[in-house]
Chains A and B, each alone.
Chain A
């Protein structure tokens, strides 16, 4: 089915572990984004990508790593998870913004 999918939907991990959140879109959109949502902060941009092999930092990139070897995939890795990274993570994609941005269903990550 066409769309943008995130996995897993829920994840509990321990402090210090590495964890990867997956994002896959089927539209071949050029732009992809990772946001985190925390109460009182709205959504904050972690990393974004304008095309395959082109990524850049957003507002809150520390502790995260991204890659984009293929247009359709944009995984987000927490290298050494901390409790402050407990959040809901949303992936989004767009072609040029003229038709808006589409968001995945989110991953709720808890770091214990």
Chain B
């Protein structure tokens, strides 16, 4: 059974600081996704990581995937208040139906 652990669960950081969110998963997969969710809203796709060593960047966010270590990171550079949200990683089952298993999410709060 695929398990996905995400940490930290809650992160309060000051504007301008850097930080990393970690996503570990328990069984082999070559597809990992990062989503952002604002309060009361749906999930917005941030990154799709499809191979070992994949690195994607969008603005102040950069995601990477190490399939051998079963680890993905979401790095935040010089945080701004607009990045405050909950971030989820999700790992695809390599079996049938492309099921996604989600981490419990990291609630990011960026303070002035």
Contacts and interface: CB of A to CB of B under 8 A. Distances in A.
B102 A43 contact: yes
Given A31-B98, A56-B97, A96-B98, A42 B42 contact: no
A90 B42 contact: yes
Given A90-B42, A100-B45, A105-B42, A50 B96 contact: yes
A56 B98 CA distance: 12
A11 to B, nearest CB: 15
Given A31-B97, A58-B99, A94-B98, A101 B104 contact: no
Chain B interface size range: 20 to 34
Contacts of B6: 42
B20 to A, nearest CB: 19
B99 A101 contact: no
A97 B66 CA distance: 18
The residue in B31, B50, B99, B100 that gathers the most chain A C-beta atoms within 10 A of its C-beta is B100
Interface of A: 31, 33, 35, 40-45, 48-50, 56, 58, 90, 92, 94, 96-106
Interface of B: 6, 31, 33, 35, 41-43, 45, 48, 50, 88, 90, 92, 96-105
